[in-house]
Amino acid sequence: MANITHTPIGVIHSPFTDPADTPIQGVFADGARGEVEVFLEYADGLRDIDGFSHLIILYHFHLANGYSLISKPFMGDNEKGIFAIRHPNRPNPIGISIVRLDHVRGNVLEISDIDILDGTPLLDIKPFVHQFDHRADIQSGWVDDQHVDEIGDKTPRRLRAR
């Protein structure tokens, strides 16, 4: 199979410059704010996006260092298969986050609940559509066995202190 190449369409700006201080998921970001800067040649694609409250952001884990098919998740103590966890060291280092869209300013999206490192290359933006993206009877595998307080304890200290 041929290699697949993606071209960044923008860059993500956030207050997080150290992976150790970055929330493990947006739900633990405590309203952290950032911006998605869409390169000007793609700005027309933002038309009508202001009517959505949430966006799905796809990005390249630019600081990932290789991959491992078995890795320890950020929560829990036991190693898991890479496709059963959300870890940046993947065969294709692609990340996904759901963020709140606060405001559109030209080619810049002001967002909150961000869990992405500053300077991360943006690959795509999709609107979160409740009618399409909501599912009932969800099972979350090994994550269902975790306690929410344990998950919250894995968030950076400076965010929990807010």
- For every one of its 162 residues, what pLDDT tens digit does the chain have, with 9 covering 90 and above? 789 999 999 999 998 777 766 666 656 567 789 999 999 999 999 999 999 999 999 999 898 888 989 988 777 778 888 888 878 888 999 999 999 999 999 999 999 988 889 999 999 999 998 887 777 776 666 566 665 555 555 554 433 333
Structural domains of the chain, with CATH: 10-131+138-160 (2.40.30.70)
Nearest Cα to Cα of residue 97 among 43, 48, 60, 69: 60
Distance (Å) of CA 94 to CA 17, 49, 54, 57, 87: 18, 23, 19, 10, 10
C-alpha–C-alpha distance, residues 142 and 25, integer Å: 16
- Closest by Cα among 44, 22, 55 to 128: 55
The model scores a pTM over 0.85: no
Quote the distance between the C-alpha of residue 21 and its chain's center: 14
